[in-house]
Amino acid sequence: MPDLDAAPRPLTVAGLFAGIGGVELGLKAAGMQTKLLCEWWEPAQAVLEHHFPGVPLHDDIQTLKALPDVDVVTAGFPCTDLSQAGRTAGIHGEASGMVKHLFELLEDASPRWVVIENVRNMLALDRGTAMEYLVSEFERLGYRWAYRLVDSRFTGVPQRRQRVIFVASRTEDPRGVLFADDAGERPESDYREDAFGFYWTEGNTGLGWAQDALPTLKGGSGLGIPSSPAMWIRDAEPGRAIVTPRIEDAEVLQGFPRGWTEPALKRAKPGVRWKLVGNAVTVGVSRWVGRRLLTPGEYDETGQIILPKGMRWPTAAWGTPDERWAAAVSLWPERSSYQHLLDVVDTNEAPPLSLRATAGFHGRLLRSRLRYPQAFSDALKLHAERMAEPAPVA
């Protein structure tokens, strides 16, 4: 006789393109167990080995011959060829094209769920070719699928980060995972006005401007050169008003504990930690997905419309091998308690933006036609002047 009082076994996970384990850490928090990790980059491998001891780690998806018998397969495949900050070579580029190996592995595997995460630009690049490829491959294999663009701020972290979450299954309805929750966008009144994030590498056509948040953390260069955003602390004194977060702050902005990527220092320069964090999946996003994988909800079909092939990909959609529909849901499944930017970034330790970076950004800003607060421009000018002053003699 079965033991009716026994707790159900946790869902098991195989993490492909695992990075530093953002997906797997979130799924673990939801109660799942990781049985396999696959990651080729040595600094990321060092992080995974430290935080997931005892979990088999394969070093190259191209040589992974088969998937283990697991419930969930995750694949945050490289965004390098899809993102606006990358090469935009497309889904068949050298890096992003690695996703083809996922479909080869799925030919002979039967997971209950497949979860994919990637950049928003995947919906628009090359007229949506990347999404059409993913959807068509899942349909070919007999999967039902759904995807939703979400903003990481719904998890409470002060980082405006929009990513596509894609869920597919042969046996289950992925709509109950991705569409059951919809809180609507957080009102502006929830955000404080004491700090604003921006990208100092921009200034010609955009700012990456974010109130009480930082713009999307980026991976930076393959050489390990940090690519951190900056922040304007409105009431701080000159020299301390324009600063950049530290890597430990960035880890928290992605939902990791401080110091999560320290093990990478065994195999790489410190700047590589920025690339690791910038490429990661926000932990709170995968935790939400994990909870819904365990307990799918109900999907309200109100507002959905048919999605003919060749149409522009919306921010949320679902389909089967026989039909495709656009879903009427927001980028905000939930509204978790919000962590304000100045409560996350240690402003006493945050380094000031350099004179060269400040002057270059301010110059581009003044020449542009962008709209921005005059007080922000004044703060940049004062910051540059303070940074140009000779260092005090000890």
Residues catalogued as catalytic: 79
Residue 144 near residue 170, CB atoms below 8 Å: yes
Among the listed residues 266, 206, 218, the one whose alpha carbon sits nearest the alpha carbon of residue 244: 218
Rg value, the chain, Cα:
22
Which residue reads 């992974």 in tokens?
Answer: 64
Residues paired with 53 in a beta bridge: none
Instruction: Give the integer Cα–Cα distance in Å for 263 and 260.
Output: 7
- Tell me the three state secondary structure of residue 112: coil
Among the listed residues 66, 168, 62, the one whose alpha carbon sits nearest the alpha carbon of residue 109: 66
User: Residue 354 corresponds to which tokens in the numbers above?
Assistant: 């350099």
Contacts of 176 (CB under 8 A, 6+ apart): 292, 296, 297, 298, 299
Side-by-side strand order, sheet with 230-233: 210-211, 195-198, 230-233, 242-243
Report strand pairing: 33-38 vs 12-16.
parallel
Instruction: Give the integer Cα–Cα distance in Å for 286 and 117.
Output: 9
Q: Identify residue 83 by its one-letter amino acid code.
A: S
Backbone angles phi, psi at 350, to 5 degrees: -65, 125
Distances (CA, A) of 31 to 10, 293, 333: 6, 11, 20
